[in-house]
Amino acid sequence: MTQARQQHTTQHPIQVIAHRGASDDAPEHTLAAYRKAIEDGADALECDVRLTADGHLVCVHDRRVNRTSNGRGAVSALELSELAALDFGSWKDREESESPDWDPVPGELTSVLTLERLLELLVETRAAGRPLQLAIETKHPTRWAGQVEERLLHLLKRFELDAPPAGGPSPVRIMSFSARSLHRIQDASPDLPTVYLMQFVSPRLRDGRLPAGARIAGPGMRIVRSHPGYIDRLHRAGHRAHVWTVNEPEDVDLCVRLGVEAIITNRPKQVLSQLGRSSYQ
């Protein structure tokens, strides 16, 4: 693995964000995956949130639970108690040929994770002196327009995470592929950082502009490989770039050369090592 050198460096190292936790090592979106990411030294955690039928925000990426659990059906059609009865981790064990080199708590490998519990972990970690951050991606059925954002902001307010502390960066940022979702967040909580995620770059945004309500660009790694000059256009327009999902050493090297501000990865430990960091800085 090559040793990447951060050119914009020691004062502002690239932030390493654990995508769905340390999801290369542990089942995605489980508490075990997030604890492993913290242990590995990730600067921030990333999660997706969906709304259950009874109004709870849970950390599940797909619209349906089929891929990541032993159940079936849409998250939006299931209540939290039904999700809690499912196994969200054993599929990962079947994919691994070797035992993990870490010691997870058994229940934390298989249980559905609520955003509330993840926020508790964030607050606990920060209270212990670790400046951990959380990037939350909103996902929702269009018929529930606004409900995910409303409940998300209500939960952040409960934890006093709905605005940055005086003189410091926000512990939480909101991400979405939906410009409308980010606009709702900005209307309700203008001090929360927002990230506009992109699978491709719309022609009207190729000059580095972002939709109203978005403060940070979130291009996929495929965009960065195909159009590396886009990062420079974003920077010239005054925007930061948080790139997903960056797992391969050559992609890490490219992100470093382009001066991106954050790397979102399934492999936080390996990326930190490649950047010459063994723990959070």
Pairing of strands 44-51, 57-58: antiparallel
Do 243 and 260 contact (CB within 8 A), yes or no?
yes
DSSP 44-93: EEEEEEEE-TTS-EE---SSBSTTTSS--SBGGGS-HHHHHTS-SSHHHH
- 19 as an active site residue: the answer is yes
C-alpha separations of 268 from 17, 188, 236, 264 in Å = 7, 32, 28, 8
CA distance 20 to 26: 10
- 227 as an active site residue: the answer is no
Burial class (CB in 10 A: 0-12, 13-18, 19+), 248: middle
Among candidate residues 29, 56, 61, 239, the one labeled active-site is: 61
The residue behind tokens 């954002």 is 149
- The catalytic residue positions are 19, 61
